[in-house]
Structure 1
Amino acid sequence: MAQLEVDGATLTYDDEGPRDGDGVPLVFIHGWTANRHRWDHQMAHFALTRRVIRLDLRGHGESAGSGRRSIEELAGDVLAVLDHLKVDRFVPVGHSMGGMISQTLALGHPERIERMVLVNSISRMAFSRGRGLLMAVSTRVPFKLFVAANIQRAFAPGYPREEIREYIRASATTPREVVMTCYDAMRSFDILDRLGEILVPTLLVHGYHDIQLPVAQMLRMAKAYPDAVVRIMDAGHELPVEKPAELTSTLDWFVSERA
């Protein structure tokens, strides 16, 4: 674990694996209210053969800093860490909000992206009228209930309740201001009309039971990508921990055998 001061934030990150390993570094970017340990299974696997980097986004996990940030500014934090580590080209692997950050990096810095992986992520937040009303109401309930409700519904039916409670407890430690400003940043995120600009090979992995970001929205996005591969798994929104081995295997195929 190391830390870097960036624009009023202290960003905590891990940089593991051989510097002369297989391929360019993989950069794992977690989602809303999560932390870098969502990627424990993937880090342990890939660090054996290649350089792997992950960080806690500002205000999340062991990173400190204001949550008053747009998706573009969060992408800037990721680049600051990579510049500090002298990493030029890389493969962003982003989950949920981390996938939004990954796509922003691909649009803003295409010369640095070798390929990209989006896990349970989309390019435009879209709600039905009923869902939009539900989301609006949810922001007015007590903060801990708001977080708990969102984390609870992120997992597919049948996932162990005690494990879900642990994730709820961890998410609830994220400062309210960080949670709500990042929530607003996701709600306003919309790059669907620009996906044709992202020319690198892109893997879109999604949970069939994801009700946070429904699979239908991901499929709409996939059609707009010039070079996309889709994989749908029997899971909810939290693929990195619901199906860790299956996700790791799919990532391994995409970044090595398919290269």
Structure 2
Amino acid sequence: MPQLHVDGATLTYDDEGPRDAEAAPLVLVHGWTADRHRWDHQLAHFSTARRVVRLDLRGHGESTGAGARSIGGPARDLLALLDHLGIDRCVLAGHSMGGMIAQTIALEHPGRVERLVLVNSIARMTYSRGRGLLMAVSTLVPFRLFVAANIHRAFAPGHPREEIRRHVRASASTPREVVMTCYAAMRDFDVLDRVGEIRVPTLLVHGYHDVQLPVGQMLRMAKAYPDAEVRIVDAGHELPVEKPAELTAVLDRFLTARA
């Protein structure tokens, strides 16, 4: 598997699909405590016709490095990877924290983004009462319990328990320092007053049952986007693994209609 050394971190990534495709490369960015395999379904589907890149953010999955103290840190990592791969302009898709990273790049480097896709993501972090309580007690409870509580809340009611347990185990393997610094970085993230500057076609996909980042927060953000398409899916916060085929179909229609 290819890796890139960036600023004290080793980033593991996948780069698949035809390099000579007319369509812009699709770059997939996962969320907090997750890894690049959140995008398995999208990679398999889209890499048949276009170049697809995905990475494990620093400290996540098979990448090393300390946690990000601001969303700008992983945004710089991703830009370094795009430079390394010779990708000047791409379709940038991010889930949850990955969407925050994608918005940061779209604002600070607008020429690098042809289209933007935000999955279960928002422009300003506003905690629900339950999420705020979890944050308040995060230093008082065992780390695995803190992670498990967050992951369990991320799925819509009725999702298979064994699959949730598998994601809890994977998330709990992320180093505590990485988990907590990224959590703080998300807490401080706020570009809501600037998203009107993002002029590229944007797709906002959200789970109706998302209690981590409630759909109402996404709809508030959508009003500020000049060119936004909104899709609500019967899922929770972990849309890429709860309804992978449905997410792929929504993304495919967006890219085809905008081609």
Report if TM-score (shorter chain) is over 0.5. Answer: yes
Residues 1:122 and 2:122 aligned together: yes
Contact 1:22 1:49 in 2 (8 A): no
Is the 1:94–1:102 contact (alpha carbons within 8 Å) kept by the matching residues of 2? yes
Whole-angstrom distance in 2 between the partners of 1:132 and 1:5: 35
Rounded to whole Å, the distance in 2 between the matches of 1:69 and 1:38 is: 23
Cα deviation for residue 47 of structure 1 reads 0.4
Q: How does 1:22-61 map to 2 (within 5 A)?
A: 22-61=22-61
Distance 1:224 1:80, change over 3 A: same
Counterpart code for 1:34: A
CA-CA distance at 1:238 after TM superposition: 0.4
Q: In the aligned structure 2, how far is the partner of 1:162 from the partner of 1:129?
A: 27
- Per-residue deviation at 1:22? 4.0
| 1:30-50 Cα distance to aligned partner (Å, 9 max, x none) | 000000000000000000000
| Structure 1 runs (4+) greater than 3 angstroms displaced | 128-131
State the alpha-carbon separation in 2 of the partners of residues 91 and 192 from structure 1: 21
Please say if 1:223 is aligned against 2:185.
Answer: no
Partner amino acid, structure 1, of 2:254: F
| 1:250 CA displacement | 0.7
**Matched residue of 1:193: which SS?**
coil
Residue 241 of structure 1 corresponds to 241
Q: CA deviation at 1:73?
A: 1.1
| Equivalent position of 2:9 in the other structure | 9
Q: Helix, strand or coil for the counterpart of 1:153?
A: helix
Q: Aligned partners of 1:120, 1:145: CA distance in 2, in Å?
A: 23
Matched letter for residue 254 of structure 1 = F
Alignment deviations for residues 214-252 of structure 1 (CA, whole Å, 9 cap, x no partner): 000000000000000000000000000100001001111
Shift, 1:149, TM fit: 0.4
Question: How many angstroms apart in 1 are the aligned matches of 2:22 and 2:48?
Answer: 10
Task: Look up the match of 1:89.
Answer: 89
Residue pairs, 1:66-81, within 5 angstroms: 66-81=66-81
3-state DSSP of counterpart to 1:69: coil
Q: TM-score, normalised by structure 2?
A: 0.97
In the other structure, the counterpart of 2:152 is 152
> Percent same amino acid at aligned positions?
77
After TM superposition, the structure 1 stretch with the greater mean CA deviation from structure 2, 130-139 or 71-80, is 130-139
One-letter identity of the residue aligned with 2:6:
V
Deviation at 1:68, TM superposition (A): 3.9
2-side partners of 1:72 and 1:213: how far apart? 20
Q: How far did 1:122 drift?
A: 0.3
TM-score of the superposition, structure 1-length normalised? 0.97
Identify the residue that residue 254 of structure 2 maps to in structure 1. Answer: 254
Q: Measure how far apart 1:69 and its partner are.
A: 3.2
1:179 aligns with 2:184: no
1: distance between equivalents of 2:60 and 2:131?
Answer: 26
Residue 256 of structure 1 and its aligned partner are, at CA, apart by 1.9
Deviation at 1:113, TM superposition (A): 0.6
Residues paired across the two proteins, number: 259
Measured on the aligned residues, the alpha-carbon RMSD in Å equals 1.1
Provide the secondary structure at the position in 2 that maps to 1:191.
coil
Contact 1:68 1:177 in 2 (8 A): no
CA contact (8 A) 1:91 1:114 kept: yes
Bigger mean CA deviation after superposition, 219-228 or 66-75: 66-75
Structure 1 gap segments, 5+ residues each = none
How far off its partner does 1:127 sit?
2.6
What CA distance in whole angstroms lies between the structure 2 residues aligned with 1:24 and 1:256?
12
